[in-house]
Amino acid sequence: MDKIHSHRQVAAIKHSLFDQGYLDEQFIQLEELQDDANPNFVEEIVTLYYRDSSRLISNLDHTLERNPLDFNKLDTLMHQFKGSSSSIGAKRVKAECTLFREYCRARNGEGCRRSFQQMKKEYATLRKKLETYFQLARQAGPLETAYRPK
């Protein structure tokens, strides 16, 4: 009973993550890669993503503090960040990255900073939600991988 309930909870969280646009199809791809040999594959990947993206975010922070702004470098950094984020299916974060890059190309420093702040917010939100999700999923036990919200 509890197990079913927890699974349902996990499913609900996942569903909402998709509905709200935090995650996209790529996340499902990752889940499909998960198997008995790698039961926590998705979580491992996401953890790896956090680590790498923290580094990129702090790099971006530093670069944004410079004056004048090095738009090329910002664009390059953000390109990397966008690539990682899209690999795990972080939809909203990815959208902010795209916006940021457009500001970079337009040499709009203010736009970049604004977009970056927004991106950080999305990133933090996603991270929190995913942490909750994984925690529950672990507690519920293996069962959720095949679920496709859409």
Partner 1 sequence: MNLSNGKGSVSTVTTSAVMKSGDAVSDQFPAGLRVLVVDDDPTCLMILEKMLLTCLYEVTKCNRAETALSLLRENKNGFDIVISDVHMPDMDGFKLLEHIGLEMDLPVIMMSADDGKSVVMKGVTHGACDYLIKPVRIEALKNIWQHVVRKKKNEWKDAEQSGSAEEGDRQPKASDEADYSSSANEGSWRNSKKRRDEEEEAEDRDDTSTLKKPRVVWSVELHQQFVAAVDQLGIDKAVPKKILELMNVPGLTRENVASHLQKYRLYLRRLSGVSQHQNNLNNSFLGPQEATFGTISSINGIDLQTLAVAGQLPAQSLATLQAAGLGRSTTKAGVPMPLMDQRNLFSFENPRLRFGEGQQQHLSSSKPMNLLHGIPTNMEPKQLANLHQSSQSIGSLNMRVNASATQGNPLLMQMAQSQPRGQMLSENTGPRVPRLPSSLGQPTVSNGISNGLLGRNGIAGNNRGPAYNPVPPRSSMMSFPMNQSSDASVNNSFPLGSTPGISSITTKGSFQEEVTSGIKGSGGFPSYDIFNELHHQKSHEWEITNPGLTYNASHHANPLHGNIDVAPSVLVHQGFSSTQQTGQGRDATLIGKAMFSVGEGLEQDNLQNAGQNLNPLLVDNSIRIKAERIPDASSQTNLFPDHYGQEDLMSALLKQQEGMGPAESEFEFDAYSLDNIPV
Residues that bind partner 1 (CB under 8 A): 26, 29-30, 32-33, 38, 41, 44-45, 48-49, 51-52, 76, 79-80, 82-84, 86-89
Complex with partner 1: residue 3 or 62, whichever CB lies closer: 62
Q: Please state the closest distance from residue 74 (CB atom) to partner 1, in A.
A: 14
Alpha-carbon distance of 45 to 40, in angstroms, equals 9
Complex with partner 1: residue 51 or 150, whichever CB lies closer: 51
Alpha-carbon distance of 115 to 117, in angstroms, equals 5
Q: Please state the closest distance from residue 80 (CB atom) to partner 1, in A.
A: 6
Complex with partner 1: residue 19 or 44, whichever CB lies closer: 44
Complex with partner 1: residue 7 or 30, whichever CB lies closer: 30
Q: Please state the closest distance from residue 30 (CB atom) to partner 1, in A.
A: 7
Q: Please state the closest distance from residue 42 (CB atom) to partner 1, in A.
A: 10
Name residues whose C-beta falls within 8 Å of residue 19's C-beta, 6 or more positions apart in sequence. Answer: 149
**DSSP conformational letter for 106:** T
